[in-house]
Chains A and B, each alone.
Chain A
């Protein structure tokens, strides 16, 4: 007796549109609105420090969504995702510095430029798989970092570039952190909507097909090359948007912010969040930011312990701390928080039966 436990008893679908709805019953639609409403109320409950954490979590979730599409859904390993976020930041910075464009004009470009570059680096993915692709993206990361830090005339080299906040829109002045948080949150909600729809439509299925069995997918009429390049393109588009929004918050961006360890943390915390689900990407970004805050608490502790100058202690501890968290998750909870959340939801929905 395989009943559909995702639907409460008494809901039946009269057409395929109803069948496809995620939030099918009025109760679930209300829960969704409640969730979104609470997200918008959060800034009024916390101080500025809280707002900065929330803004960065939202920006990073968009980046994580991009990586989820490339690695979680399409199975192509990318160890250079932070670099593409960097390109997004620098595109906005350069356009504002040299051409004086407004932030609103730069935002779409901040998505398109990394998208094109991502597609360029997606091409090797056509002929190589798995580990070799990881090398290609690693190389891509270094090439991008090298170009940005050495093209002094345009990118102002290693001493970074200014990015100013977006101009007022419909009377909302975005220089205030709270308003800027609303902008980033709205962008995140839109991006989550786009990513969810992507996974439920034709391209989403093609991505999963390529991940699960790309030999069979090829013979089953899916153009593998086209799908992989698109995966890289869309993933890097998300990374670009995340970079632009994140960078504009700090209003200054530097090459150090997207080094090799950032790319590795992207991949690592995606594992913590969980592959193959939208919730996994958001959970990963949230855990990453929370770990950030925790590691800053660690430094005073480190001082008492080491007694030496603490400036290097926080850097060392954050490296060790993150790496341990990711490895522990990978060994003991390989399918991440999203899977654990799925199990809890399933157990509740099956209550009181075991299966």
Chain B
């Protein structure tokens, strides 16, 4: 019993990061109708840059955080301008292939950054320690991460509701042709969504790098986040957040109960099994919009 509660709390913290990643996917899909597989690799770059700032160049945390975010933003602008802009008129297959190749491209860059040390550097660079509340063993990093995630998502929600740019992005989400006819600069909106998504992804990368160690294994979490996004529905933020948390909890439960039964490391498998189930039963996800095809 105690273990389940512990797993439950640990799951929520992890889930926070997954929902953050899921949100980064939704931000781009909703406005540009292109699913960004590449964010999984942006995760790795975020982790490495943070590692360089803190460990290699011994910078304070807040400066490291700033550098990582700005690096994410620059990467977002570069991707959108160099590749995505030219693919607007192409059939749906072209963006999928480009984002997939981007994922591998960024992984290659990741290997170069990490100087081949595939496993990454292991020691966590954020304050270590754990709080003992009753029988629960809550590592400090997890809570810090969870708080940061909820804060970020809240900020994002406010950004969408209140600011003018947020409003513009919500219009583009509905229909970019209509938005263009209304005089909105759709290209800049695309750029904003890529920037935001990459910043979030690099922050998530920083956090995950801290927990699981900075290395190429991080993009496995990216794929788990894909399962989360699909579970919640591609077009809704709320769905992504809830699904992220659920996946986090589910993953923790499987580690405790199901892992010993199945051979090999199953943390990766369960989300994909879930993904297949979702696709079979409810293809458009819990909160997604079912499209009516006109003939």
| Complex: A in contact with B (CB within 8 Å) | yes
- Using Cβ atoms and an 8 Å threshold, which residues of chain B touch A138? 223, 226
- Cβ B264 vs Cβ A149 within 8 A: yes
- Using Cβ atoms and an 8 Å threshold, which residues of chain A touch B118? 312
Residue A338, interface by CB 8 Å: no
- Cβ B92 vs Cβ A142 within 8 A: no
- Cβ A136 vs Cβ B276 within 8 A: yes
- Cβ B101 vs Cβ A323 within 8 A: yes
- Cβ B101 vs Cβ A312 within 8 A: no
Stretch of A94-102, A164-172, A327-335 with 4 or more beta carbons under 8 angstroms from chain B: A327-335
- Using Cβ atoms and an 8 Å threshold, which residues of chain A touch B116? 308-309, 311-313, 316
Residue A216, interface by CB 8 Å: yes
Residue B96, interface by CB 8 Å: yes
Distance between A210 CB and nearest chain B CB, rounded to angstroms:
14
Residue A32, interface by CB 8 Å: no
- Cβ A312 vs Cβ B295 within 8 A: no
- Cβ A135 vs Cβ B275 within 8 A: yes
Report which of A127, A146, A319, A327 forms a contact with B268, defined as CB distance below 8 A: A146
- Cβ B97 vs Cβ A308 within 8 A: no
- Cβ B108 vs Cβ A323 within 8 A: yes
- Using Cβ atoms and an 8 Å threshold, which residues of chain B touch A151? 263
- Cβ A152 vs Cβ B263 within 8 A: yes
Distance between B221 CB and nearest chain A CB, rounded to angstroms:
14
- Using Cβ atoms and an 8 Å threshold, which residues of chain A touch B276? 124, 136, 139-140, 143
- Cβ A143 vs Cβ B295 within 8 A: no
- Using Cβ atoms and an 8 Å threshold, which residues of chain B touch A268? 97, 100-101
Query: In the complex, given contacts A316-B112, A318-B108, A322-B104, what are 4 additional A-B residue pairs having Cβ atoms less than 8 angstroms apart?
Result: A124-B280, A306-B112, A323-B101, A326-B98
Distance between A225 CB and nearest chain B CB, rounded to angstroms:
14
- Using Cβ atoms and an 8 Å threshold, which residues of chain B touch A71? 93
Q: Please indicate which of the listed interface residues A132, A149, A152, A219 has the most CB atoms of chain B within 10 Å of its own CB.
A: A132
- Using Cβ atoms and an 8 Å threshold, which residues of chain B touch A350? none
Q: In the complex, A157 Cα to B169 Cα: how many Å?
A: 48
Q: In the complex, A311 Cα to B279 Cα: how many Å?
A: 40
- Cβ A323 vs Cβ B102 within 8 A: yes
- Using Cβ atoms and an 8 Å threshold, which residues of chain B touch A327? 83, 98, 101-102, 105
- Cβ B275 vs Cβ A132 within 8 A: no
Q: In the complex, A156 Cα to B97 Cα: how many Å?
A: 33
Residue B272, interface by CB 8 Å: yes
Q: Nearest residue in A to B102 (C-beta to C-beta)?
A: A323
Interface size class of B (residues with CB under 8 A): 35 or more
Residue B230, interface by CB 8 Å: yes
Interface size class of A (residues with CB under 8 A): 35 or more
* Interface membership of chain B positions 110-148, coded 1 if the CB is closer than 8 angstroms to chain A and 0 otherwise: 011001101000000000000000000000000000000
- Using Cβ atoms and an 8 Å threshold, which residues of chain A touch B105? 319-320, 323-324, 327
Q: In the complex, A110 Cα to B104 Cα: how many Å?
A: 30
- Cβ A215 vs Cβ B268 within 8 A: no
- Using Cβ atoms and an 8 Å threshold, which residues of chain A touch B98? 326-327, 330-331
Residue A77, interface by CB 8 Å: yes
- Cβ A264 vs Cβ B100 within 8 A: yes
- Using Cβ atoms and an 8 Å threshold, which residues of chain A touch B273? 143
Residue B163, interface by CB 8 Å: no
A-B contact pairs, 29 of them (CB 8 A): A79-B96, A131-B96, A132-B279, A132-B284, A136-B279, A139-B272, A139-B275, A142-B223, A143-B276, A146-B268, A152-B263, A215-B293, A264-B104, A268-B100, A271-B94, A308-B116, A311-B116, A312-B112, A312-B115, A313-B116, A315-B108, A316-B108, A319-B111, A320-B108, A320-B112, A322-B101, A323-B101, A324-B105, A331-B86
Q: In the complex, A199 Cα to B22 Cα: how many Å?
A: 40
- Cβ A124 vs Cβ B96 within 8 A: no
- Cβ B295 vs Cβ A128 within 8 A: no
Residue B87, interface by CB 8 Å: yes
* Interface membership of chain B positions 178-206, coded 1 if the CB is closer than 8 angstroms to chain A and 0 otherwise: 00000000000000000000000000000
Distance between A71 CB and nearest chain B CB, rounded to angstroms:
7
